């Protein structure tokens, strides 16, 4: 049996206060400095781009591509990841997953927010799990494979960043302007006892912007409303970085990006994406509809089959993988990279909204801390999508309610008959804070 190309991750203990963040479009800084024509800054950005490079085990080309792509001529995709990490540590769970596609024909940009609690197949795992666990299980390589398998499109590039970069960049540009659709309150922050953002036009500093981006439990639109606010923040940040006079010092800003960012986008590729700068103010947002379910007292987001199919088709059309006639065709047999259901899904009890009690958050945080982010007892043997995980046996522990855990429905993705891992080995990843 071959060795897995995914290494088990042992993460450091996360912050006592679970502070969430959005994926910072780090390379967008290049758009501003390129327009300014500042040779010194351009050289510094080139240096930062080189130092943040991370090679992928798959190589430069996605397995969903038959030939290499040139972003100056071909449509491409970039996955932005916001990580739940400490300063400079880019392992752990992904709190935000945003896929952005670029099409050079009309210089259009589409953005898809992938719900972090989405119940999906993760290659090499015996059962379905939350999509944001993929990074903790197997790093960026497993994350890209999971997203590609879910959406059936290539992920050409990625940018991962932790929350320190987001807040520091917002502070460095002098804050960002937003138009809050409602009053936002947040008590889980490092600086203030409580953050209150009144309804209406406001200028936010880094920590306030983070609170504005993360709040969803009091938003009547839930995840959809949060996605709209994240997009507003990204657009405002682009606007502020484009105004070079707002940058009190380029070097601290670049140092922040360098310290908190990993990507596989080189400087030349970033420069080739510069012509999309004007289009970023008119990004078309895509959504994955679904509903909440509970499995063993854990919240999951069950993706809607029709919405998932529609989103796949729209992404494929934008990436010019299909034509318009194919976009509206009914769903046929799964594509080459799609996984096929093997058994009838287990009925799940639907819930109207995510649990959000402080007790639940504290309980989950304590379990994560006790586990130390470890993934003990698993042997990852991922080989081209074959599920070969060996689940540890336990004679003393059972799932809640004394029942054996069963695979759950996951929006048309693969179901498995393998035995589920014992709770003691998996609850560090199953038990999540549901506040992002």
User: pLDDT for 373-420, tens place per residue?
Assistant: 444 433 344 444 444 444 444 444 444 444 444 444 444 444 444 443
The predicted structure's pLDDT at residue 29: 46
Instruction: List, for residues 322-377, the tens digit of each pLDDT value.
Output: 987 676 666 555 555 555 445 445 455 555 544 443 444 444 444 444 544 444 43
Of 167 and 38, the structure prediction assigns the larger pLDDT to 167
DSSP state letter for 312: H
Q: Which positions ≥6 away from 16 have C-beta within 8 Å?
A: none
The predicted structure's pLDDT at residue 430: 47
The whole-number average pLDDT for the span 47-67 is 87
pLDDT above 70 for 210: yes
Q: How far apart, in Å, are the Cα atoms of 150 and each of 306, 318, 340?
A: 13, 17, 12
The predicted structure's pLDDT at residue 364: 45
**435 belongs to a structural domain:** no
pLDDT band for position 219 (50/70/90)? Answer: confident
Helices (H) and strands (E) in the chain, counts: 12, 15
| Out of 23-27, 93-97, 273-277, 292-296, least confident range | 23-27
Nearest Cα residue to 148 out of 408, 385, 331, 411 = 385
| Out of 65-74, 116-125, 166-175, 408-417, least confident range | 408-417
**225 belongs to a structural domain:** yes
Total length of the chain: 436
Longest dimension (CA), the chain: 66
Looking at the 3D structure of the chain, how many domains does it have?
A: 1
Instruction: List, for residues 87-114, the tens digit of each pLDDT value.
Output: 445 567 787 888 999 999 988 999 898 9
pLDDT above 90 as % of the chain: 28
- Give the residue numbers spanning the domain of 232: 26-289+308-327
Whose structure tokens read 């992404």?
Answer: 315
Rg (CA), the chain: 21
DSSP state letter for 130: E
pLDDT above 50 for 34: no
67 burial type by CB count under 10 A (0-12 exposed, 13-18 middle, 19+ buried)? exposed
Q: Which positions ≥6 away from 163 have C-beta within 8 Å?
A: 19, 20, 21, 82, 83, 84, 85, 210
**315 belongs to a structural domain:** yes
The predicted structure's pLDDT at residue 170: 86
The answer to whether the beta carbons of residues 119 and 298 sit under 8 Å apart is: no
Q: How far apart, in Å, are the Cα atoms of 86 and each of 8, 61, 142, 260, 287?
A: 19, 30, 21, 9, 29
Cα(316)–Cα(319) distance, integer angstroms: 5
pTM over 0.85: no
pLDDT above 90 for 152: yes
**398 belongs to a structural domain:** no
The predicted structure's pLDDT at residue 225: 77
Of 324 and 57, the structure prediction assigns the larger pLDDT to 57
**371 belongs to a structural domain:** no
Q: How many CB atoms lie within 10 A of CB 342?
A: 11
pLDDT above 80 for 245: no
Instruction: List, for residues 270-282, the tens digit of each pLDDT value.
Output: 878 777 766 666 7
The answer to whether the beta carbons of residues 74 and 273 sit under 8 Å apart is: no
Q: Is 424 helix (H, G, I), strand (E, B) or coil?
A: helix
Cα(391)–Cα(381) distance, integer angstroms: 12
The predicted structure's pLDDT at residue 89: 52
The predicted structure's pLDDT at residue 31: 44
pLDDT band for position 73 (50/70/90)? Answer: very high
Of 225 and 424, the structure prediction assigns the larger pLDDT to 225
Nearest Cα residue to 113 out of 26, 209, 230 = 230
DSSP state letter for 49: H
**364 belongs to a structural domain:** no
Q: Residue 262 is part of a domain; what is its CATH number?
A: 3.40.630.190
**144 belongs to a structural domain:** yes
**432 belongs to a structural domain:** no
Phi-psi region of 420 (alpha: psi -120 to 50; beta: other; left: phi over 0): beta
Taking each helix axis from N to C end, the angle separating 29-36 and 250-260, rounded to the nearest 10 degrees, works out to: 150
The predicted structure's pLDDT at residue 129: 96
The predicted structure's pLDDT at residue 307: 97
């Amino acid at each position: 049996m071959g060795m897995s190309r995914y290494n088990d991750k042992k993460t450091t203990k996360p912050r006592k206060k679970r502070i969430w963040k959005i994926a910072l479009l780090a390379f967008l800084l290049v758009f501003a400095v390129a327009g300014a024509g500042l040779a010194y800054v351009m050289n510094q950005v080139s240096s930062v781009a080189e130092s943040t490079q991370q090679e992928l085990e798959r190589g430069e080309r996605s397995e969903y591509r038959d030939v290499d792509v040139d972003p100056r001529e071909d449509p491409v995709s970039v996955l932005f990841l916001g990580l739940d990490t400490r300063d400079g540590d880019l392992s752990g769970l992904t709190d935000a997953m945003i896929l952005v596609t670029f099409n050079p024909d009309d210089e259009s940009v589409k953005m898809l927010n992938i719900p972090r609690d989405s119940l999906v197949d993760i290659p090499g795992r015996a059962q379905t799990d939350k999509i944001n666990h993929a990074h903790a299980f197997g790093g960026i390589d497993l994350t890209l494979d999971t997203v590609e398998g879910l959406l059936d499109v290539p992920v050409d590039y990625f940018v991962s960043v932790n929350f320190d970069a987001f807040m520091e960049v917002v502070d460095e540009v002098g804050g960002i302007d937003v138009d809050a659709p409602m009053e936002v309150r947040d008590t889980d922050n490092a600086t203030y006892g409580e953050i209150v953002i009144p309804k209406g036009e406001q200028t936010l500093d880094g920590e306030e912007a983070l609170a504005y981006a993360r709040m969803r439990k009091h938003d009547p639109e839930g995840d959809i409303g949060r996605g709209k606010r994240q997009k507003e923040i990204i657009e405002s940040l682009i606007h502020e970085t484009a105004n070079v006079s707002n940058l009190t010092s380029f070097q601290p800003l670049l140092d922040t990006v360098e310290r908190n960012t990993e990507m596989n986008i080189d400087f030349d590729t970033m420069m080739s994406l510069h012509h999309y700068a004007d289009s970023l103010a008119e990004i078309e947002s895509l959504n994955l509809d679904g509903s909440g379910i509970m499995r063993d007292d854990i919240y999951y987001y069950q993706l809607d089959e029709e919405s998932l199919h529609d989103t796949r088709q729209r992404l494929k059309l934008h990436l010019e993988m299909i034509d318009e006639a194919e976009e509206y065709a009914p769903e046929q047999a799964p594509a080459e990279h799609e996984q096929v259901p093997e058994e009838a899904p287990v009925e799940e009890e639907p819930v109207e909204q995510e649990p959000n009690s402080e007790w639940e958050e504290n309980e989950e945080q304590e379990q994560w801390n006790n586990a130390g982010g470890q993934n003990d007892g698993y042997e990852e043997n991922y080989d081209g999508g074959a599920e070969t995980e060996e689940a540890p046996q336990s004679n003393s522990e059972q799932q809640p309610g004394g029942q054996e855990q069963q695979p759950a429905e996951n929006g048309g993705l693969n179901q498995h008959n393998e035995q589920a891992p014992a709770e003691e080995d998996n609850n560090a990843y199953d038990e999540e804070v549901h506040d992002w």
